[in-house]
Amino acid sequence: MERGGGDLPDYHAGTELRSPSVRKKTENNMINFKNVSKHFGKIQVLHDINLNITQGEVVVIIGPSGSGKSTLLRCINKLEVITRGQLIVDGLDVNSPNIDERQIRLEAGMVFQQFYLFPHLTALENVAFGPTKVRGTSKEEAKKQALALLSKVGLEDRAHHYPAELSGGQQQRVAIARALAVKPKLMLFDEPTSALDPELRHEVLTVMKDLAEEGMTMVIVTHEVGFAQKVASRLIFIDKGRIAEDGDPDSLISNPPSERLREFLQHVS
């Protein structure tokens, strides 16, 4: 898949929207869970999560359905609100009354299983939409950056196509470009390939691999164990709302330290 050049936005140069006094950042510390729990009513889905993710890490989270992995991911950009504990994202306390969802979501771009593109907008317009609305970027500059991002994900020639005219893999690549357009400092992926057939999965995983090689901090919920082994710097196995394993992907996959992880890998391999 060819990717052109162009004037790409600096992912790590996002506009500051808050006073530095609200930040609690330590060197290279991007995400920090401190004794985080999450309940839905009387059901506890996350149990005392302690997790630190540093800048530039590519962390893949695996686990059985209902284990809490997507809930953990959604807490990072405040799509879910933690019940107890503290969660710091790039120095911002997500539960602080001084921090709103918009601030967090400018820091943490997110790509979902479903694409959520605006059907009445072209690929170019979908990607340019965010910068004009939330960054105050001029329409001309936003479209210039959007075209560069579409080129980056191999879709410059589809810039003026509507979502219905694109394959699933192409739509997901547009969704990735759209998330990058607001210049996030980290990217969250919630099972981005699970709705795609194998050939289209490869297209999306290639884009994600390129981002990892560029140093983007990434947290990825997926069953793509091969991708984790080749690309991730760290693998986390969540089971029943708890972090059961956390370590080197190749070691954990090649030689699972627990029977539970071994059973899970047998089911997804």
Strand 186-190 versus strand 108-111 pairing type = parallel
Which helix (H) or strand (E) element contains residue 124?
A: helix 123-130
pLDDT of the chain, 269 residues: tens digit per residue:
434 434 444 433 333 333 333 444 445 889 999 999 999 999 999 999 999 999 999 999 999 999 999 999 999 999 999 999 999 999 999 999 888 888 898 889 999 999 999 999 999 999 999 999 888 899 999 999 999 999 999 999 999 999 999 999 999 999 999 999 999 999 999 999 998 988 899 999 999 999 999 999 999 999 999 999 999 999 999 999 999 999 999 999 999 999 999 999 999 87
**DSSP per position, 73-132:** HHHHTTSS--SEEEEEETTEETT-TT--HHHHHHHEEEE-SS----TTS-HHHHHHHHII
Specify the pLDDT at position 22: 43
Specify the pLDDT at position 27: 56
CA distance 178 to 149: 8
Domains of the chain plus CATH, in order, are 26-268 (3.40.50.300)
CA angle, 157 then 106 then 117, to 5°: 40
Task: Find how far residue 5's CA is from the centre of its chain.
Answer: 23
